[in-house]
């Protein structure tokens, strides 16, 4: 890939203005619900550190997500910050200070969750809506959850006193809510924030009024688009009256309710944006929404899997407005820079890219974008939010832990031999070398990456991560030795400490397993074989990704499941995989046991009944067990040894990287 220069991002990095708010560049951190806040409405040190890292990383604007205006009423997350009372102001003052000390501007996104306020359900309060909700589609979001995940996802509905009910808002309710938005904005201004975003998207209260799907009123708050937008415009006017023009005020809207019959269309969004500008908004932030009962739809909106999915929406809105437009939705820096240059938007909001690496804006400015850790779009960040627990990033273990600080350099440098260059070995080597240890990384294969190479063959984003690790370990000064199997006698005197990160080994667990194509060779199978009927034995991450890739390539796939459907995958990614298999006509068979594998079939037990599956090829993606033999031998020789990643316990990518980072930060 061509090395980009700072000038290649000249438009994205140029100063900009939203109302009275002058910004150093056109990169905003999009507001996200991450459950990193405290459970009492206060921000807390964890989320403050998280925001400060992104301000320090060079973003021009930090927008704090979903600040509840009537907390705890109308809140959607168990850990959600509030701007509903003056007692919360000290935390917001600290948020503003931390953004400003690094040259970023600070804003809060004001929200009332309305018809999706799970904290109201949990407390037995009715959820506020414009109209009584109509029965929706049967949800597919629970089909592939583990029992633990199911308990987490439904915890609000199982709490003592929980009750799912609705309250249709009357004139007094609407006036009260408008006043609460204005009160919260005034608090944000008093705390020293520079801007306010009013959340009028993603199913929350203002969006529920905007959408004809959820707003079926026949009074002045429903019917025509102008009436449906009235709550949003009244809130804008009320906020503007309270904060004046010294504070930037804008709204976030949905460019479309994708796939929702009777929902918001792009024409609706454009006209709503025009009304927002007339009401006094300084900008419009254009996102999208989709069917909230569908897991696969969630990666259509509000979290697009398709790059730059919503950019056409922003461009359509931009044509009608004289105020700035903020685009969002998996927009890479090159695409965002071009969009600004072409006049399709004025600012670009980034979310997942800044979770993976807060320093991305600084790296763009330094003309070293390749140094920013790439997002692999595995969706664990938002998947955890569905489970009502703290968000995590699969590949950035510091996300949500920034308040603990970066690993300090060592005062006692050691010679460390790391054996195995999979994700755990790479992450440990990188951090150990950066802290001042002398690190030699040994890898049996000719290339670095280990089991990451298997995923990379199926997923281009993972290939980017492999390249990033290759460059970073060498940049850190790690001595890399590839292409040889390590035995204890070779290295027993070369280091003070040994890290064994050789990963898991795949063992056959039934007769004939050795005749199957190992999952590690799935790329060869995709390249070499004509479409045919293929059985994939095993439904962990690799098994499901292999089945998905084969199905999309035209093979007739039977996925033989045991132990659940890729429980290691973030939920939205899991939903996408299940949807892809269903659309391709793949068969999923949950089995009690795999009895044998033959040249032209697989014999399984389902319940107590045997069944033979006739296929042309079999892919073996089961039987992963920790590879501990080298560690055992080194310990037997009296060496100081740490075992990491799947060599210690099969936990896949997030666990491997997190465990390695924790160890390497402390040695």
Residues labelled catalytic = 204
Provide the 3-class DSSP secondary structure of residue 394. coil
E strands, 501-647, where?
504-506, 517-518, 533-537, 556-561, 587-590, 593-598, 601-606, 609-614, 617-620, 624-626, 641-643
**8-state DSSP, 531:** S
Q: What are the φ/ψ torsions at residue 583 (nearest 5 degrees)?
A: -65, -30
Nearest to 398 by CA among 37, 50, 48: 50
Q: Categorise residue 662: left if φ over 0, alpha if ψ from -120 to 50, beta otherwise.
A: alpha
Contact 570, 383 (CB under 8 A): yes
Q: Is the dihedral of CA 542, 544, 550, 553 positive or negative?
A: negative
The span from the CA of 306 to the CA of 288, in Å, is 13
Contact 563, 539 (CB under 8 A): yes
The span from the CA of 111 to the CA of 120, in Å, is 14
The gap from C-alpha 665 to its chain's centroid, in whole angstroms, comes to: 24
Cβ within 8 Å of residue 517, ≥6 positions away? 524, 525, 617, 618, 619, 620
Give the alpha-carbon dihedral of 366, 402, 250, 125, to 10 degrees: 160
Q: What separation in angstroms does the CA of 108 have from each of 62, 117, 188, 260, 329?
A: 8, 19, 7, 29, 19
Q: Beta strands 624-626 and 504-506: pairing type?
A: antiparallel
CB half-sphere exposure, 309, CA atoms < 13 A: 21
Nearest to 296 by CA among 112, 147, 137, 154: 137
Give rounded-to-5 percent helix, strand, coil for the chain.
40, 20, 40
Angle between helices 171-190 and 89-101 (to 10 degrees): 50
The span from the CA of 469 to the CA of 423, in Å, is 8
Longest dimension (CA), the chain: 83
How many other C-beta atoms are found inside a 10 Å radius of the C-beta of residue 533? 16
**Residue 408 burial by CB count (10 A; 0-12/13-18/19+): exposed, middle or buried?**
exposed
The span from the CA of 186 to the CA of 238, in Å, is 10
The span from the CA of 658 to the CA of 664, in Å, is 10
For 592-604, give the secondary structure using H, E and C.
Answer: CEEEEEECCEEEE
Nearest to 63 by CA among 23, 108, 27, 98: 108
The span from the CA of 219 to the CA of 235, in Å, is 18
């Amino acid at each position: 890939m061509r090395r980009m220069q700072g000038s290649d991002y000249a438009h994205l990095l140029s100063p900009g203005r939203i109302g009275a708010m002058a910004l150093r560049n056109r990169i905003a951190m999009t507001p996200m619900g991450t459950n990193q806040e405290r459970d009492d409405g206060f921000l807390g040190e964890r989320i403050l550190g998280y925001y400060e890292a992104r301000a320090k990383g060079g973003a021009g604007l930090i927008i704090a997500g979903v600040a509840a205006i009537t907390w705890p009423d109308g809140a959607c997350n168990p850990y959600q910050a509030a701007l509903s009372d003056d007692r919360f102001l000290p935390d917001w003052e600290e948020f503003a200070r931390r953004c400003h000390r690094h040259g970023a501007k600070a804003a809060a996104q004001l929200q009332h969750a309305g018809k999706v306020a799970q904290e109201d359900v949990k407390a037995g309060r009715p959820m506020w809506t414009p109209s009584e909700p109509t029965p929706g589609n049967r949800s597919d979001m629970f089909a592939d959850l583990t029992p633990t995940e199911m308990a987490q996802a439904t915890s609000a509905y199982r709490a003592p006193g929980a009750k799912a009910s609705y309250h249709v808002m009357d004139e007094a309710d609407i006036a009260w809510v408008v006043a609460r938005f204005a009160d919260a904005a005034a608090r944000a201004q008093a705390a020293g924030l520079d801007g306010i975003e009013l959340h009028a998207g993603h199913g929350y209260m203002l969006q529920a009024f905007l959408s004809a799907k959820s707003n079926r009123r026949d009074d002045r708050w429903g019917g025509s688009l102008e009436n449906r937008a009235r709550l949003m415009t009244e809130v804008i006017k009320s906020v503007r009256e309270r904060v004046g023009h010294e504070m930037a005020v804008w709204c976030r809207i949905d460019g479309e309710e994708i796939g929702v019959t009777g929902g918001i269309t792009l024409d609706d969004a454009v006209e709503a944006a025009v009304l927002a500008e007339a009401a006094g908004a300084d900008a419009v932030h254009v996102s999208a929404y989709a069917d909230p009962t569908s897991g696969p739809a969630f990666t259509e909106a509000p979290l697009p899997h398709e790059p730059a999915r919503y950019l056409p929406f922003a461009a359509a809105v931009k044509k009608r407005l004289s105020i700035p437009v903020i685009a969002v939705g998996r927009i890479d820096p090159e695409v965002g820079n071009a969009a600004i240059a072409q006049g399709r938007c004025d600012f670009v909001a980034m979310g997942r890219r800044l979770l993976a690496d807060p320093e991305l804006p600084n790296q763009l400015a330094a003309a070293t974008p390749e140094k920013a850790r790439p997002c692999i779009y595995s969706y664990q960040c938002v998947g955890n939010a569905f489970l009502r627990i703290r968000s995590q990033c699969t590949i950035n273990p510091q996300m949500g832990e920034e308040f603990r600080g970066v690993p300090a350099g060592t005062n006692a440098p050691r010679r460390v031999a790391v054996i195995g260059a999979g994700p755990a070995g790479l992450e440990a080597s990188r951090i150990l070398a950066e802290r001042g240890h002398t690190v030699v990384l040994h890898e049996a294969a000719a290339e670095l990456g280990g089991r990451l190479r298997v995923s990379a063959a199926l997923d281009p984003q993972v290939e980017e991560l492999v390249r990033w690790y290759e460059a970073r370990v060498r940049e850190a000064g790690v001595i890399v030795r590839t292409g040889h199997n390590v035995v204890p006698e070779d290295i027993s005197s070369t280091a003070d400490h040994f890290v064994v990160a050789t990963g898991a080994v795949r063992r056959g667990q039934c007769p004939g397993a050795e005749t199957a194509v190992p999952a590690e060779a799935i790329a060869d199978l995709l390249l070499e074989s004509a479409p045919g009927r293929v059985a994939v034995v095993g439904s962990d991450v690799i098994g499901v990704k292999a089945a998905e890739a084969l199905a999309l390539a035209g093979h007739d796939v039977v996925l033989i499941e045991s132990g659940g459907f890729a429980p290691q995958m973030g939920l939205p990614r899991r939903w996408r995989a299940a949807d892809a298999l269903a659309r391709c006509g793949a068969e999923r068979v949950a089995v009690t046991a795999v009895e044998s594998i033959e040249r032209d079939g697989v014999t399984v037990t389902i319940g107590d009944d045997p069944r033979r599956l006739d296929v042309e090829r079999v892919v073996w993606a089961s039987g992963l067990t920790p590879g501990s033999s080298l560690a055992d031998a080194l310990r037997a020789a009296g060496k100081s040894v740490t075992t990491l990643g799947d060599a210690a316990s099969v936990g896949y990518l997030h666990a491997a990287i997190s465990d390695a980072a924790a160890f390497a930060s402390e040695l």
